[in-house]
Structure formats: structure tokens, C-alpha cells
Structure 1
């Protein structure tokens, strides 16, 4: 199928079939798709936690209490649950690690190219760290690029998915020890296969018309 067909067939899964598990080879592909997600100046300000066990999903479901209880079944019945976490700060250690990896991967034809890339990344990160003072917001934007990549990738792999913002990040951060590691949970993705109670699978997709959202110049 074309990418357009995958975009048309994906939907936010409202109920998963708890008896169906995603094959390991498909999870491996999805992990690689997510690893290759784009980010501004290749900043990669994220960490991903993937729960595949009942215990792992139960730990994540602790954050779906009270006003967020409607998401508990999605978490517990999914085959896998992905937590996308954002760095709590842009550190020089992280930026240097990216530069080192780019060098190892052959991204630079010479020292000048390496210096230019480093300078560009520092320019943007310092803009958000020190001038605009919106580094957390900027990094979360990058995590949502990864989210979109994961959702379309899942559809291409025949995996149903649902993004979830309805959870208590403070509870989840504590349960997974994220803040001590310099991260905070931003969004969840349930992964698996649509169940019989997934009413959204039967509904037509609805979006605003082309003319309403595009301006050609």
C-alpha cells in the first residue's frame, strides 16, 4: 500500500484485543522506525520505555487513575505500551553524545563540517535554553514528531495504536524513576490489535476539507 492508504486506515484504537500479541519482529521494526524519528537539529531529546509484560503494563496503568481511569483498560489490554519521555533539560553531555555518534556514523566530511553542525545545534539549543527560556516546550515538540512517526509506522506494520495524554505524569515519573534520570513522561501509545469493542474502528475517518486547511500561494 501507499503511505496515503496507511494514513487513511489508521485510527485511534478505543479497545484492544487482549489475546493478540504483536510479533517480536514487528516490534523490532517499530523500534527502529522510532529510533530514526526526526527532531530539530537532530537533538533527540527523548527516551522511550516499552512495556510488553503484564507487570510492565500494570506499572504504567498506575498513572491512569481518577480522572484518567478511562485509559486503564487500553493500557492493560494492549499488547505493548510505549511511554515517550522528554528530557527535563538540554545538557552539554547529551549534545556532545549526539555529536560523537554523528562522527562515528560518518556524517562529517571534515572537521569544518563537524564544527558547523555543532555550532548550529548549540545556536538553537542555546536560543531555547537562555533567550526564549522555553527549552522544555521546544523539546516536547520534538517528542511529538517521534509520536507521529510511531503512529504512522505502526499503521504501516499492521499494528493498531492509540496515543494517550490522559495520565498522571507525576505518578508515572515516580513509578519509572524518570525524573532521577533526567526525563519526564509526555505521552503514551497503546499498541496491539483492535478488539470487538473498538467502536472507532467502524466509524468513517473525519477531517476538515482540503480547502479549509490549505492555502496555495
Structure 2
């Protein structure tokens, strides 16, 4: 069953239902675990996120064992101990990391994958070099002209995180995005920088502890449309 099948089963629920009811869980029930079936869907959410020019400048660490979660929690122990408990009690934890560079060999790897997936089947000789040229052009704009290549790649990972938070909510899974982590500790623990990445955020996943999670009982608060929206 794909995530689309799950969506069809929820035909009575508008997407805004999940937008309005999801929140950042503050306490997890350690006895409740995400099913293997939903872990498969979680992986699909990570993989199929949109990104600018399909650059996919990310890497993920999915920790579901006690040992794995403890390794992630090391990044909170010194400066962010208030996040340690959620990581350890969550069913799973995802580390989101961004690329540090966009070298030519990586761009060609993405291009070859697109070809293998049939993106250029109609006319490979025309469309494949066009895609590579366009992606390289945007990468060079951010590297050479705007000089914000790292920031640009980070934004693609945050785009993934936004979709991910909404996606897991549709599965009935609670989540907590955490920037309160020591990135250097996390990068060293998983050898991310040696692989060409650096961590940005951790997202804990699981099921809320109804008694301990104070945030579950609080109403959402957002600025009014008059403040945030201009219609023309």
C-alpha cells in the first residue's frame, strides 16, 4: 500500500485537517512503535520530496534501535538536554543532513538516475544534456554569483522537512523537529562530513504520551490573514 492509497482511505478529511491538528509533540510514549509498513512510507516521504532542479542535496540517518537513538541523543547532552528525552523515548528519529558541495560527479549521478527512471525516454540525446545544463547553471549561479550554494542546498532540505512533517501527520504519527542539537557532535558520530554532508535538524517520530505532553492540550496560534496574506 502506498501513501496514495492511505490518502484515498481518508477521503472525508481535507488536507487542512492535518495542517491544523499536527503539532510538535513534547513527550513520547516509549511503548508505542511505528509499524514496519509505516516506516516504509516514511522512507518514501524522505526520498520523494521536491527539490530545486531535482538536486536532492540531502542525506538521512534513520534511527530506530535503542543504540541508534542513543547515538543521536549524544548531540543534545551538553547544550540541549531538554531534547534528550524525546529522542530516546521516540519510536524513531531522523537526522536531516545537507550536502556541503555539488561536484560534477554528483550532478552526473543524479542525471544518470533520471535517465534510468525514464525521464528522457522520448529523446535522450536532446533532453539529457538540457537537464544537465540547466541544473549546472542554477548550481553555478548560487556558487559563483550569489555565493550562497550551501544556504541554497540547506533550503532544499528544509523543503523536505516541511513536506515530511505534514506527511507523517497524515499517517497519524507525531513528530518533533529539533534544531537544538550540536551539529558537530552529530556529524562526527555518523561521519557525515567525511561523506560530504552536515546535519541540519533532527525529527523525532512516534506517538505522544497523552499524560505528559502539555502541548497536545494547547490550541494552535497563528497570525491572522490580515497580517500574512495579500490578495490581488
TM-score bracket, shorter-length normalisation: over 0.9
CA distance in 2, matches of 1:7, 1:158: 12
CA distance in 1, matches of 2:152, 2:89: 32
Determine the structure 2 residue equivalent to 1:189: 203
CA distance in 2, matches of 1:96, 1:211: 46
CA distance in 2, matches of 1:114, 1:134: 26
Match of 1:180 among 178, 181, 194: 194
Unaligned runs of 5+ in 1: none
Match of 2:144 among 119, 125, 130: 130
- 2:25 paired with 1:10: no
- 2:95 paired with 1:83: yes
- How far residue 55 of structure 1 moved from its aligned partner, in angstroms, is 0.2
Determine the structure 1 residue equivalent to 2:61: 49
Match of 1:155 among 161, 169, 173: 169
Other structure's SS at 1:149 match: helix
CA distance in 1, matches of 2:180, 2:44: 26
Let me know the Cα RMSD of the aligned residues. Answer: 0.9
CA distance in 1, matches of 2:79, 2:196: 27
Match of 2:32 among 13, 16, 20: 20
Higher relative contact order (CA 8 A, sep 6+): 1
Other structure's SS at 2:107 match: helix
Other structure's SS at 2:29 match: coil
CA distance in 1, matches of 2:180, 2:200: 10
The answer to whether the 8 A contact 1:90-1:129 is kept is no
- How far residue 66 of structure 1 moved from its aligned partner, in angstroms, is 2.5
CA distance in 1, matches of 2:204, 2:140: 34
Match of 2:77 among 52, 55, 65: 65
- How far residue 132 of structure 1 moved from its aligned partner, in angstroms, is 1.6
The answer to whether the 8 A contact 2:93-2:202 is kept is yes
Match of 2:86 among 49, 53, 74: 74
Aligned pairs, number? 217
Other structure's SS at 2:137 match: helix
TM-score for both structures, normalised by structure 2: 0.92
Unaligned runs of 5+ in 2: 1-12
